[in-house]
Amino acid sequence: MLAGAVIAALLAIAIFLPELVGLGWHAVHGKAAQYRGWRIPVPSGWFAMRHGESLTLERMLHIPIRQMTPTVVFLPMHVGKNAPFDPNIWADVQIEIQSRRGYRLASTREISMTGVRGYCWEFVKSGDRSSWWITCLAPSEDLSADYSGRQAFVGAFYSILPDIRREPNSL
């Protein structure tokens, strides 16, 4: 009975004060998550979880039923070291995949990701201009990052990418 009440109280706190979830994660883990030899910054209010070969960052929202939870997923690219990277071919593939999900290409950009050149494709949901999907790749590092969520959190996503660093002993 007491355990049920404690669980119910914690669930209510997580729903009505989601910032506490992010604060709790940061209190235990600090400002970054470790992933495949990388140190990935985790913004305030976000938390990180590992799922198989991915690392997922999420931002808790007060009422997530009304909107998409902002999510960033890091995955290895699984491209052979000798395979040439052509951003135009990747763009065509991304456009095809995202158009099936109801998104249209809004823009592309080159960025600094992991200290090297990265490429991003920004997609906006047809009929809902505030829902975004962004795919970014750092081909020379075999690392990808996908963002899905509201436009309001796109800046937080882009703030993560240039600060990703290799762990000193991971080379």
Instruction: Summarize pLDDT for 124-161 with one digit per residue, the tens.
Output: 999 888 899 999 999 989 899 999 999 999 999 999 99
Which of the two residues, 148 and 11, has the higher pLDDT score?
A: 148
In a domain, 77, yes or no: yes
pLDDT tens track for 54-108: 999 998 775 555 567 899 999 998 776 677 888 898 899 999 999 999 999 999 9
Q: Is residue 110 part of a domain?
A: yes
What does the pLDDT read at residue 158? 97
Report helix, strand or coil for 117: strand
Per-residue confidence (pLDDT) for residue 122, from 0 to 100: 97
Question: Average pLDDT in the 26-33 region?
Answer: 82
Of the candidates 135, 72, 145, the one whose C-alpha atom is nearest the C-alpha of residue 103 is 135
Cα–Cα distances (Å) from 33 to 5, 44, 72, in that order, read 32, 13, 13
Q: Is residue 171 part of a domain?
A: no
Which domain range does residue 126 map to?
A: 2-166
Distance, CA of 112 to CA of 118 (rounded, Å): 6
In the chain, how many domains are there?
A: 1
User: Which CATH number do you get for residue 156?
Assistant: 3.40.1000
> Domain for residue 136, yes or no?
yes
Q: 45-54, 56-65, 113-122: which range is least confident on average? A: 56-65
